[in-house]
Structures are given as structure tokens and as C-alpha cells.
């Protein structure tokens, strides 16, 4: 089926949510992802396909979310709908509905609702205040004050409850936080206004100031919430790829179970086109599509015994998977957890903000008390002294300082994740901004290996395959791929030495796959066979090196390979710093030597022999195809199939540092100007609320801009 895609409809995507009549929201629903839909014509096509299925009672397509919500007939599952949509040309797969609703979504809705109530009440009270400030008569003025109180007090009780609850909790624990002076300012403005209303003599009240303070603070916190939610949305979408149900193979046949019930060693039946519900081992050879997980566009061939990660799509023939982890320990869940860690980490700038926050409460309360005492002593006007103290409490709110760092961290972490770079360390973003030198491992990182094998007899081929399968070195992986289809030999006492090779016993005799002068060598009891390895640069590597050099970063290559082979590759890629014939411990020494020279090194490597150097570098990245040990040792993982995102990562890290400095400068400059203005009595509580909230919103918008 050919589906037209109208570019003009894409702009309207957020407002399109088309449904057939009679979709009952109360029934249990199944969600299918439709990543290829683009416009209203796509919606009509999807609904036309689903309308023909007796198993589908109703459907609702959400274009902005690229999903369809199905209500199925009793006893039916989503397999028929999935098959029909895929046959019609739509790439559809089932989503876990619970994973699509983040835990903090309710918090966002509450913030928005409270901000809406405060904003609505603020506008009405301000409209009334215009009449008061215009010189309304005594009786009219008092009536307007009572109307303002009737609007403001219930609105404040609802909208400002989070500030009161936070301040109350802090005070009960014997400490103060930033919400204590906020709550005090709101209460002081409301209480003084109520007193003026009861006294029937006040020319003005500050209900509008209390509402404005509440409204603008809630808007700022909602913007911060959205920034954090945006950073997590990509990880949440990956988590949603984990299926809610799976087909488990038992001694008596097949059974459909919740994915949460799957245990390690359970055998799971996966049809062609199905997604793996948990991590597991393939029992037969298979082709998988892991684009949703790593960004790799090309299908990947797996041999029996290879790992399949949750979220990968099985291509070609059906596959039986033996689970290795429970659902909560799957790769997808770990991705979301790592994004959370990276987002909430501490920077060195956080120490500045934290110290300022600790000093904030006593300093602000002291300033407000001094301003109140001085103005009362100078003027004898209690009303004016309270107004100055209230304005001081409001205008010195440290919201801008509190938002300066987390808003930038959340925005940039999410942007990197969508660029296929997953930061694992909470301080990685800051350290990446310091980098001036990028050091690459060669084999498996800058290059892809292809084995060009001589004619091997069956014994040599089987021994070579077994030895290659025992190692995760890129050369071993290339060799194992070229020997696919051979029967592996039975080996004992297999030992891998990083940077040297793999040794074992075969029929009681020593054999090995070791590094030679011109590439891997197969050592058999009676002979040595060279196994040449032809290497080609990874796609986009030359452009990456050029971009790094243009951006001012020095680029070096460290390899255990020969000088001639390293120099040939370096000439192709434009790398002028080469360190060849380097053993694993020497890689660490080289990285540390660069550090001692004052350089900030980013190490990019993928092998066991790179692990120590990755840990020793100022920051480190590993490709998604890297050995597990390398991914664990690194600060981040490049999920895509190319290294092109390394330059983008470094540029975004520098941009994040710049934004943090800008935000801190904005917060400091604001307080240097605003505090004297408030203390000298030039700012009313209403002006203080508007100015303070504007500074917070400005900081968040600066963090979110491209």
C-alpha cells in the first residue's frame, strides 16, 4: 500500500489526534508504534487497514506521538494488527503502555494546573487593582479589596501548596531551604493585604504580588521540569520498546506470559519481525535490526550463542532466545537509568551554586529584617517597612542560581542521547568540555577488519574458529565471521592475554591465535599459519578527524600494530601523531604522559587492551560494538555505527559549559542589581515578583536554546 505524505501536515502534527467514533477509553488498550507516519493521509491509511480487522474494536492514531491505540476484541492479541500494518507498508511494533507514562508526568500536570490557577487569579486581581490604583473611592476601594481577597486566598491555598509544604518540611527538620523565604514572602504579602482589607483603611493591597510571585515561580519550575523530561524522553521511548508480553516455551508447549515473569534460562519464541523482550542468547544463527538501540542502519548477522538485546528486531527466520536477564535488568532499562545518572550529576560549578544556596537563607532573612527595621525607624511607616521587607524577600529568590546548572545539564544530556551518545558518568559532560586532545585506538575503533584467509584444512579452520570465538578483539571477531559455518574444535584451558592473543590446549597440545608482525597468526603444534587482516577505515572517520582538527583539537592514534600499517592508515585519515607497537600498559603510560604535559585527553577505544587507558584518560568514549569491559570503563558509549558523533559530543560539551557560565553570570548580575534596588525601597512586591521570575525564566530559556 502506498501512503502519501504531505509535508504541510507535518507542521500540524501536534494538533492532530484522529479517532473513530466510539473509542471507549475505559477498556484495556494496546499501543503500537508507527515511526513512519507523517500526515493525515497516513492516519487514514492506518485506520483503513485496522477497520477491516474483526479483532480490532476501535483505534485512535496520535500523529505527534506516532502511535495508535487499539481496543481489541476479547481473547484477541495485537499480532493480527501488527501483521496487517506491516503488510500494508507501515513499520509497526508493540509498545509497553506502562513505560510510555513516566513517573514524573503527574508532577508536570500538577505544576501546569497550579500555574494556570495562579495566572488566572493574578489577571483578575490585577484588573481590579487598576481601578484601585486609579483612585477609587473609599467604599469602592474596600469592596475591591474584599473581591481581590476572595479570589487570591483560595488560589494561593491551591497553587502555592508546594512551596508551603517544602518550607514546612525543612523547618520541621531544623533547616532552611530556598522555599522558606518564598513561602514567607507569599504569606507576608497575603497576611498584610488581608490586614489592610480588614482595617478598611489601606490604600493598596498586595494580593496581586503574592499571586504574581506564585505564578512566575510555577512557570519557571514547569520549564525546568520540561527540560528534564525532554532529556529523558528518548530513553523512555527506548524503554517502551520492551514488550509487555512474550511467548515462553515450556515442556508442555507454548504459553503467553507477562515479560516481568520471564526468568534467566527461560526459552522464548520470537517470530520474524518480532522484538526481543529481554536480553538473551540466540540458539540459532539470525539476522537482527538493532537500529532502535544503537542507530546501526544495516542488519547484523548473529551466530548461535551470540547476545540479543531487548528491543532488537528479529529478521528473516523465527528465533528461539534463551533469556540471560530479567526484564528490569535489560539493556533498555539500563540505558534509561544511565541517562538519569548523567543528568543529575554534580559539576564543579555545582559547588558554587550549592555554597550560594547555603548562604542564601540567612543572608536574605537578615537583609529583609534590616530593611524592615531601618525603614520603620526612618519613616515610622509600618506599612512601607513591611512592603520593603517583602520586596526584599521576593526579589532575592535564588531560583535563577538554582536552575543555572541542572537546566543546562538536562538539555544537553538529552540532546546527546538523541545524537546516539549515551553519557554514563555524571561528570562526563563537564570533563568533555575540557578536552584538547583526542586519542583513538586503531583496530576496531578507527577501522573495520576483514580477514583474508589462506586455504585452511579442517583441523586448522576448526581450531582457528574456536580460538577466535574465545576473544572479543576486533581481529578475532573478523576472523570468526569469515569462518562461520565451520565446526569449532574442542579446546581446554583457554586463556586470553590482552594485546598478545589467545592460547589453549587442543588434544592436549598447545595452540594459539597470537599477534604477529603482519597480523594474526595461528600457532598449531606442527606449524604457524599467517592470517592476514585487511583493515578499512570506519565510514565517516576521515571527516571526523578533519572536523576535530578544524575545531582545534589535537588528534593522535595509539595501536599495538606495526609502524608501517599504522602510518598507512594515519596518512589516509590525516592523523599526524602516531604511537605504534604499543602494549596495553604502555597505552596507559602514554595517556598519563600527555596528562602530565597539561593536556586533557579523550580516549576512544573498544578493546580489552584499551580498558586501562580509557580509565586513565580525562574522559573516555567507547563504540557501541566495543567489548563489555571497554564500555564499562568509559564515560560514554557511542550507540550509532559511526564515530562522527565524537566531534558533535565535544562541541555540545563546550556549549554546555558556556551556557552554565552564562547562566551563573546572569544570576549573579541580577542579584547585584536587584538587591540594592529592593533594600532602598524602589521596588514594590509586585515589581519584585515580576523581575525575580523573569530572571528564572531567562535562565531556563537560555539553557534550552539551540
Task: Write out the catalytic residue numbers.
Answer: 441
CB contact at 8 A, 389 and 188: yes
Q: Are strands 286-289 and 300-302 parallel, antiparallel or unpaired?
A: antiparallel
The string of DSSP letters for 238-296 reads: HHHTS-SEEEEEETTEEEEEEGGG--TT-EEEE-TTPBPSS-EEESS-EEEE-HHHH--
Element (H, E) at 84: helix 79-87
Total residue length of the chain? 706
- Residue holding cell 606449524? 527
Taking CB atoms within 8 Å and a gap of at least 24, the contacts of 454-459 are 454/529, 454/530, 454/531, 454/532, 456/529, 458/486, 458/487, 459/489, 459/524
The string of DSSP letters for 92-113 reads: -EEE-TTTTS-TTHHHHHHHHH
Q: What is the DSSP letter of 329?
A: G
CB contact at 8 A, 432 and 601: no
Grid cell at residue 62:
496520535
Interhelix angle 541-550/563-573, nearest 10 degrees = 70
Question: Which of 566, 565, 572, 567 has its CA nearest to residue 544?
Answer: 572
Q: What is the DSSP letter of 443?
A: B
Taking CB atoms within 8 Å and a gap of at least 24, the contacts of 83-87 are 84/49, 84/50, 84/52, 84/53, 85/32, 85/34, 85/46, 85/49, 85/50, 86/273
Interhelix angle 645-679/382-395, nearest 10 degrees = 170
**Cα-based distances in Å from 315 to 208, 285, 307:** 63, 11, 15
Amino acid at each position: 500500500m502506498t501512503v502519501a505524505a504531505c509535508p504541510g501536515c507535518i507542521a500540524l502534527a501536534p494538533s492532530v489526534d484522529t479517532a473513530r467514533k466510539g473509542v471507549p477509553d475505559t477498556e484495556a488498550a494496546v499501543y503500537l508504534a508507527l515511526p513512519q507516519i507523517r500526515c493525515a493521509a497516513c492516519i487514514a491509511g492506518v485506520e483503513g487497514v485496522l477497520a477491516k480487522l474483526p479483532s480490532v474494536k476501535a483505534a485512535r492514531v496520535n500523529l505527534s506521538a506516532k502511535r495508535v491505540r487499539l481496543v481489541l476484541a476479547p481473547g484477541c492479541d495485537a499480532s493480527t494488527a501488527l501483521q496487517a500494518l506491516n503488510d500494508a507498508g507501515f513499520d509497526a511494533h508493540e509498545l509497553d503502555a506502562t513505560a510510555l507514562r513516566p513517573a514524573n508526568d503527574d508532577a508536570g500536570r500538577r505544576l501546569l494546573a497550579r500555574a494556570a490557577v495562579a495566572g488566572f487569579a493574578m489577571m483578575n486581581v490585577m484588573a481590579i487593582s487598576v481601578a484601585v490604583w486609579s483612585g477609587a473611592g473609599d467604599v469602592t476601594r474596600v469592596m475591591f479589596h474584599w473581591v481581590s481577597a476572595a479570589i487570591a486566598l483560595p488560589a494561593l491555598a491551591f497553587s502555592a501548596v508546594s512551596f508551603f509544604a517544602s518550607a514546612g518540611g525543612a523547618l520541621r527538620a531544623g533547616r532552611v531551604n530556598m522555599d522558606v523565604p518564598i513561602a514567607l514572602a507569599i504569606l507576608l504579602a497575603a497576611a498584610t493585604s488581608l490586614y489592610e482589607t480588614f482595617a478598611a483603611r489601606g490604600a493598596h493591597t498586595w494580593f496581586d504580588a503574592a499571586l504574581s510571585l506564585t505564578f512566575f515561580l510555577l512557570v519557571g519550575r514547569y520549564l525546568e521540569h520540561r527540560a528534564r523530561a525532554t532529556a529523558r524522553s528518548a530513553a523512555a521511548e527506548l524503554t517502551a520498546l520492551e514488550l509487555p508480553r512474550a511467548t515462553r516455551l515450556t515442556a508442555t508447549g507454548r504459553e503467553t506470559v507477562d515479560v516481568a515473569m520471564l526468568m534467566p534460562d527461560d526459552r522464548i519464541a520470537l517470530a520474524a519481525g518480532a522484538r526481543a523482550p529481554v536480553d538473551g542468547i540466540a540458539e540459532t544463527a539470525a539476522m537482527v535490526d538493532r537500529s532502535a538501540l544503537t542507530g546501526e542502519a544495516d542488519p547484523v548477522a548473529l551466530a548461535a550463542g551470540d547476545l540479543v538485546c531487548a528491543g532488537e528486531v528479529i529478521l528473516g527466520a523465527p528465533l528461539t532466545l534463551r533469556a540471560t536477564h530479567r526484564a528490569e535488568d535489560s539493556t533498555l532499562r539500563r540505558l534509561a537509568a544511565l541517562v538519569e545518572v548523567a543528568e543529575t550529576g554534580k559539576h564543579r560549578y555545582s559547588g558554587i551554586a550549592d555554597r550560594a544556596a547555603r548562604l542564601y537563607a540567612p543572608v536574605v532573612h537578615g537583609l529583609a529584617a534590616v530593611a524592615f527595621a531601618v525603614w520603620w525607624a526612618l519613616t515610622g511607616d509600618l506599612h512601607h517597612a513591611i512592603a520593603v521587607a517583602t520586596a526584599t524577600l521576593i526579589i532575592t529568590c535564588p531560583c535563577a542560581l538554582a536552575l543555572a546548572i541542572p537546566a543546562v545539564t538536562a538539555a544537553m544530556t538529552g540532546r546527546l542521547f538523541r545524537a546516539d551518545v549515551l553519557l554514563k558518568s555524571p561528570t562526563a559532560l563537564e570533563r568533555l568540555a575540557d578536552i584538547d586532545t583526542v586519542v583513538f585506538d586503531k583496530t576496531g575503533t578507527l577501522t573495520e577488519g576483514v580477514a583474508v584467509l589462506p586455504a585452511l584444512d579442517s583441523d586448522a579452520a576448526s581450531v582457528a574458529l574456536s580460538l577466535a570465538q574465545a576473544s572479543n578483539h576486533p581481529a578475532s571477531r573478523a576472523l570468526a565471521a569469515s569462518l562461520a559455518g565451520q565446526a569449532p574444535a574442542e579446546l581446554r584451558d583457554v586463556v586470553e592475554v590482552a594485546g598478545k592473543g589467545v592460547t589453549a590446549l587442543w588434544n592436549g597440545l598447545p595452540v594459539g591465535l597470537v599477534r604477529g608482525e603482519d597480523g594474526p597468526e595461528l600457532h598449531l603444534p606442527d606449524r604457524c599459519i599467517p592470517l592476514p587482516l585487511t583493515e578499512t577505515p570506519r565510514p565517516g572517520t576521515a571527516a571526523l578527524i578533519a572536523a576535530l582538527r578544524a575545531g582545534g583539537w589535537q588528534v593522535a592514534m595509539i595501536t599495538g600494530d606495526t609502524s608501517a600499517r599504522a602510518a598507512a592508515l594515519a596518512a589516509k585519515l590525516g592523523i599526524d601523531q602516531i604511537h605504534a607497537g604499543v602494549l596495553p600498559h604502555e597505552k596507559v603510560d602514554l595517556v598519563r604522559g600527555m596528562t602530565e604535559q597539561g593536556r586533557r585527553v579523550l580516549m576512544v577505544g573498544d578493546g580489552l587492551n584499551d580498558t586501562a587507558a580509557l580509565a586513565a584518560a580525562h574522559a573516555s568514549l567507547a563504540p557501541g560494538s566495543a567489548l563489555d569491559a571497554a564500555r564499562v570503563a568509559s564515560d560514554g558509549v557511542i550507540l550509532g555505527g559511526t564515530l562522527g558523533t565524537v566531534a558533535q559530543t565535544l562541541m555540545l560539551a563546550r556549549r554546555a559549559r558556556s551556557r552554565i557560565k552564562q547562566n551563573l553570570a546572569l544570576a549573579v548580575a541580577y542579584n547585584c542589581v536587584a538587591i540594592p534596588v529592593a533594600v532602598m525601597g524602589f521596588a514594590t512586591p509586585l515589581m519584585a515578583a515580576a523581575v525575580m521570575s523573569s530572571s528564572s525564566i531567562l535562565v531556563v530559556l537560555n539553557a534550552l536554546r539551540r
